[in-house]
Structure 1
Amino acid sequence: MRKWTPLLAVCMGTFMLLIDITIVNVALPDITSDLQADFSHVQWVIDSYALSLAALLLGAGGLADAIGRRRVYVAGLTIFAAASVACGLAQDVDTLIAGRAVQGIGGAAMFATTVALINVSYEGRDRATAFGLWGAVSGAGAGAGLVIGGILTDLLSWRWAFWVNLPVSVLAVVLTLMVFTETARRRVRLDVPGMLTFTAAAALVTYAIIEAGEQGWTARVPVLTALGGLLALALFVVLQRRSENPLIDLGLLARPVFAGAVLAAAVLSCAAFGSSVLISIWLQSVVDLSPLTAGLALLPLSLVSFAVSGGLSSRLHHVPVARPIGAGLFLIGCGSLLMLLVQPGSSWTALLPGLLVVGLGVGLAAPPLTSAALSSVPLQRSGMASGVLNTSRQLGTAFGVAILGSVFTSLAADTLADNKVPAASDVASAVSGGQTHTVIQAVPAGQQAQVEQAIHEAFASGLHGAFLVAGLVGIVGAAIAFALLRKGPTAEEPEPTVGPTAQSEPA
Structure 2
Amino acid sequence: MTQPSSTAHAHPGTAPPPDPRRWAALALLCVAQFMLILDVTVINVALPDMAVDLELGRTTLTWAVTAYTLCFGGLMLLGGRLADALGARRTLLAGLAVFTAASLVTGLAQDAPALLGGRIAQGVGAALLSPAALSLVTTAFHGAERTRALGVWAALGGSGAAAGVLLGGALTEGPGWRWVFYVNVPVGLAVLVALPALVPARPPRPARLDLPGALLVTSGTAALIYGLVEAGDSGWTGSGTLLPLASAVVLYAVFGAVERTSRAPLMDLRMFTRRPVQAGAFLMLVATALLIAFFFLGSVYLQHARGFGPLETGLVFLPVAVATGLGAHLGSRLVGTLGSRPTAVAGLLVAAAGCAPLTRLSDTGSVYAVLLPGFAVASLGIGAVFVTATTTALALVDHQEAGLASGVVNTFHEVGGSIGVAVVSTVAATGIERGTVGGFTDAFTLCAVAAAVAAVLSLALVPRGKPQPTGGPHAH
TM-score, scaled to structure 1:
0.86
Q: Which residue of 1 aligns with 2:382?
A: 362
SS in structure 1 at match of 2:236: coil
CA–CA distance in 2 between the matches of 1:406 and 1:183? 47
CA–CA distance in 1 between the matches of 2:62 and 2:348? 24
Change (3 A) 1:228 1:137: closer
Q: Percent identity?
A: 33
CA–CA distance in 2 between the matches of 1:376 and 1:124? 20
CA–CA distance in 2 between the matches of 1:3 and 1:243? 37
- Offset of residue 344 of structure 1: 2.4
Q: Which runs of 5+ in 1 are unaligned?
A: 413-427, 432-454, 502-507
CA–CA distance in 2 between the matches of 1:296 and 1:491? 36
Change (3 A) 1:429 1:461: closer
User: What pairs with 1:189-338 in structure 2 (closer than 5 Å)?
Assistant: 189-310=208-329, 313-314=332-333, 316-338=335-357
Greater shift in the superposed pair: 206-215 or 337-346: 337-346
Match of 2:401 among 381, 399, 411: 381
Matched, 1:155 2:174: yes
Matched, 1:120 2:161: no
CA–CA distance in 2 between the matches of 1:3 and 1:67? 21
CA–CA distance in 2 between the matches of 1:482 and 1:265? 16
- Residues 148-185 of structure 1: per-residue CA shift (max 9 Å, x gap): 11111111010000000011111222232111112231
- Offset of residue 261 of structure 1: 1.1
Q: Which residue of 2 aligns with 1:444?
A: none
- Offset of residue 13 of structure 1: 1.0
Match of 1:483 among 455, 460, 467: 460
- Residues 382-432 of structure 1: per-residue CA shift (max 9 Å, x gap): 2221111011111111111111111111xx3xxxxxxxxxxxxxxx6643x
Q: Which residue of 2 aligns with 1:400?
A: 420
- Offset of residue 352 of structure 1: 1.6
Q: Which residue of 2 aligns with 1:467?
A: 444
User: What pairs with 1:127-146 in structure 2 (closer than 5 Å)?
Assistant: 127-146=146-165
CA–CA distance in 2 between the matches of 1:172 and 1:277? 30
CA–CA distance in 2 between the matches of 1:334 and 1:109? 38
SS in structure 2 at match of 1:37: coil
- Offset of residue 311 of structure 1: 5.3
CA–CA distance in 2 between the matches of 1:495 and 1:183? 22
Q: Which residue of 2 aligns with 1:60?
A: 79
What amino acid is the match of 2:422? A
CA contact (8 A) 1:332 1:474 kept: yes
SS in structure 2 at match of 1:42: helix
Q: Which residue of 2 aligns with 1:5?
A: 24
- Offset of residue 369 of structure 1: 1.9
- Offset of residue 255 of structure 1: 2.2
CA–CA distance in 2 between the matches of 1:89 and 1:461? 35
CA contact (8 A) 1:284 1:294 kept: yes
SS in structure 1 at match of 2:372: helix
CA–CA distance in 2 between the matches of 1:187 and 1:164? 37
- Offset of residue 123 of structure 1: 2.3
CA contact (8 A) 1:316 1:492 kept: no
CA–CA distance in 2 between the matches of 1:385 and 1:207? 28
CA contact (8 A) 2:153 2:475 kept: no
Q: Which residue of 2 aligns with 1:82?
A: 101
Change (3 A) 1:64 1:473: same
CA–CA distance in 1 between the matches of 2:139 and 2:192? 18
Match of 1:33 among 48, 52, 68: 52
SS in structure 1 at match of 2:437: helix
What amino acid is the match of 1:233? Y
CA–CA distance in 2 between the matches of 1:3 and 1:223? 51
- Offset of residue 115 of structure 1: 2.3
CA contact (8 A) 1:270 1:470 kept: no
CA–CA distance in 1 between the matches of 2:95 and 2:337? 38
Between the two proteins, the alignment pairs up a number of residues equal to 456
CA–CA distance in 1 between the matches of 2:95 and 2:221? 22
What amino acid is the match of 1:202? T
- Residues 69-126 of structure 1: per-residue CA shift (max 9 Å, x gap): 1111111111110000000000002211110011011111122122221112222333
CA contact (8 A) 1:255 1:376 kept: no
Q: Which residue of 1 aligns with 2:9?
A: none
CA contact (8 A) 1:270 1:399 kept: yes
Q: Which runs of 5+ in 2 are unaligned?
A: 1-19
Matched, 1:47 2:66: yes
Greater shift in the superposed pair: 346-355 or 187-196: 346-355
- Offset of residue 500 of structure 1: 4.7
CA contact (8 A) 2:35 2:184 kept: yes
- Offset of residue 250 of structure 1: 1.6
CA–CA distance in 1 between the matches of 2:333 and 2:229? 40
TM-score, scaled to structure 2:
0.92
- Residues 250-279 of structure 1: per-residue CA shift (max 9 Å, x gap): 222122222111111101111232242122
- Offset of residue 315 of structure 1: 6.0
CA–CA distance in 2 between the matches of 1:85 and 1:27? 16
- Offset of residue 34 of structure 1: 0.2
What amino acid is the match of 2:378? V
- Residues 348-382 of structure 1: per-residue CA shift (max 9 Å, x gap): 22202211111211221212322211234343332
- Offset of residue 316 of structure 1: 4.0
- Offset of residue 312 of structure 1: 5.3
Pick the structure with greater CA Rg: 1
Match of 1:494 among 458, 470, 474: 470
